[in-house]
Amino acid sequence: MKYPKIPLAQTVIQLCKAKHIKHIVISPGSRSAPLTIGFTHDAYFTCYSVVDERCAAFFALGIAQQIQKPVAVVCSSGSALLNYYPAIAEAFYSNIPLVVLSADRPKHLIGIGDGQTINQENVFENHILYSANLKQDINADSSVLAHEDSPIFKNLETKIEKLLGLQQNIQSQNEAAINSALNVAMHKNGPVHINIPFNEPLYETVTELSVNVKVEDVKVKPNKLEDYQLSNLVSNWYDAKKKLILVGVNTPNSIEQKWLDELAKDESVIVFTETTSNLHHPQFFSSIDKIIAPLTTEEFKALQPDILLTFGGLIVSKKIKAFLRSYKPKQHWHIGTEKANDTFLCLKEHIKISPNQFFTQFLQEVKHFTKSDYQAYWTNIKKTRKKKHTAYLESLAFSDLKAFQAILKSIPEHAILQLSNSSTIRYAQLFNINKTLSVFCNRGTSGIDGSTSTAVGCAVANTAQTVFITGDLSFFYDSNALWNNYIPNHFRIIVINNQGGGIFRILPGDKNTENFDTYFETKHQLSVKHLSAMYGFEYLKASNNETLNEALQSFYLASNTPKILEVFTPRTSNDTTLLDYFKALK
């Protein structure tokens, strides 16, 4: 087998292998050549070449999101590394394990005007779980040997002895730092950065390893509720007649169905889920904004919970956030091993175990249900909203809202649904999603910048069909996502093209002025058609109910290429349609 000659490169690669980090996303560069040589010549690793570093990092994030294991990204020195930042921030807030391996110049070449050189150490310090700044190997070409007559070397033997000792110490420190970084990524589920200085020559190879690394594992002690804490929580639960469970981003199939059924039986409990919650039960409330938007002050008071129990990632609905900040529960418990956000400004308990562990312990101790009309009252409200929702959509002219109705209904069972941010995720929130779908969205930072790349990475990691729904600005922003050779034929993209940032027409602002059209909505006349041809996608288009339904009939069928469906909707009426929808719910 071919290995890089540089011991530090061998060390990084061997420890990645020992920690079972199999997927390596590489952006081309010279300084990172020792890593690229090592990863690509070892059959254990699955390597991908993605030129655009921003896309490469989101592509890796999409794979990690699906396999729930660390994925590594490799880049050269300089500004290449900074292009990883949006995906690193997303991984940080979404608890996704991403391992950043950045090649760097030796210390003596930093800060003197050398090309492709920036201050790389700790560059992500505000959005990273661990930064490992490795030390350069000592060798015959090192700057340490620049002065042969240095007084620290009395003779050649002393010199060699000193160097061997220094190298052994450096090797030990580097191994410890790499082990720590990879263990954090694996056990704390988030991004880590390993900065790796290499001196030239970079391309030399050997056929035998020169280092034998020490692998350090971490023993993770499973958390559980202490008896006193459990007893106190159960007592408070019994006393509360109104319990609201609110679920954010949640991995599919992570909660046992028997616990969901148990919660649904409790008449003092209502469960609000979002599209990204991946939880389903007939008694749950899956479209929060449909419930919240039309409420009166008295109804808000009736909904105000005694206990708010949350788990999962960040919440999409601005309406539920506004409600719970204004009508605060007496207690807010958050369940989860990661950070607990005080989103509603009333957090009382952070229960640091997984939601499934919590319900396994907690619900076994809840021996009776509290008498309450809380669930029954809001179930009747839900039924009324559903009727008004259906009535409004039946007579609705073609629009974003009407298009989403048709698209979400058409997605094949057991597909993976990836959603971009802004309008896309918010429209999806208004509909009941097929319970066989697995739904994902980059809600850590809620940015539009890497949604397509994440969806491509997701599609690569799965044999199931991946369907990605996105807005036009988000798609064009991340169009380099299609610039790779790994997109599977079962990948499908649906672009809702409303000729600009449609969400800005819904938000407060002075619409229909040249300033608004140019600087907020960003009006355009672009089409996806030419990009589809450039990247080898089959292209379909629709601009009304009839052509959309016709296109959807063939869109998901097996093909020799991936497909893009571009749906043109009326730019200037979508906002009115949506605002009228919420009025109709009243």
DSSP state of 445: T
**Count of alpha carbons within 13 angstroms of residue 401, beta-carbon side:** 20
What residues contact 362, with CB distance under 8 A and at least 6 apart?
225, 230, 233, 234, 237
Instruction: Report whether 68 contacts 187 (CB < 8 A).
Output: no
Q: What CATH architecture is 3-202?
A: 3-Layer(aba) Sandwich (3.40)
- Cα–Cα distance between 114 and 104 in angstroms, integer? 12
* DSSP secondary structure of 381-428: HHHHHHHHHHHHHHTPPSSHHHHHHHHHHHSPTT-EEEE-TTHHHHHH
- Whole-model pTM? 0.93
Superfamily of domain 396-585 in CATH is Thiamin diphosphate (ThDP)-binding fold, Pyr/PP domains (3.40.50.970)
Angle between helices 53-67 and 451-460 (to 10 degrees): 50
* DSSP secondary structure of 510-579: --SSHHHHHHTS------SHHHHHHTT-EEEEE-SHHHHHHHHHHHTS--SS-EEEEEE--TTTHHHHHH
pLDDT, block means (10 residues), the chain with 586 residues: 95 98 97 97 98 98 98 96 98 98 91 85 97 87 48 59 81 96 96 96 95 90 88 96 97 94 96 97 95 95 98 95 97 94 95 95 93 97 96 94 97 98 95 96 94 98 97 95 96 93 67 73 85 97 97 97 96 86 92
* DSSP secondary structure of 297-321: HHHHHHH--SEEEEESS----HHHH
- Cα–Cα distance between 61 and 70 in angstroms, integer? 9
Cα separation values, 8 from 21, 42, 178, Å:
17, 16, 10
Buried b (16+ CB within 10 A) or exposed e, 509-529: eeeeeeebbeebbeeeeebbe
Instruction: Report whether 306 contacts 241 (CB < 8 A).
Output: yes
Query: CA 238: distance to chain centroid?
Result: 36
- Cα–Cα distance between 459 and 568 in angstroms, integer? 25
pLDDT value of residue 128? 98
User: Residue 289: is it exposed, middle or buried by C-beta count within 10 angstroms (0-12/13-18/19+)?
Assistant: buried
One of 3.10.20.600, 3.40.50.300, 3.90.180.10, 3.40.50.1220 is the CATH number of 227-380, namely: 3.40.50.1220
Q: How many helices (H) and strands (E) does the chain have?
A: 22, 19
pLDDT value of residue 73? 98
Other C-beta atoms closer than 10 Å to the C-beta of 556 total 17
Domains 227-380 and 396-585 share a fold: yes
pLDDT value of residue 434? 96
Outline where DSSP puts E strands in 192-278. Answer: 192-197, 205-206, 243-247, 269-273
Domain ranges in the chain? 3-202, 227-380, 396-585
* DSSP secondary structure of 73-108: EEE-STHHHHTTHHHHHHHHHHT--EEEEEEE--GG
Q: What is the CA radius of gyration of the chain?
A: 27
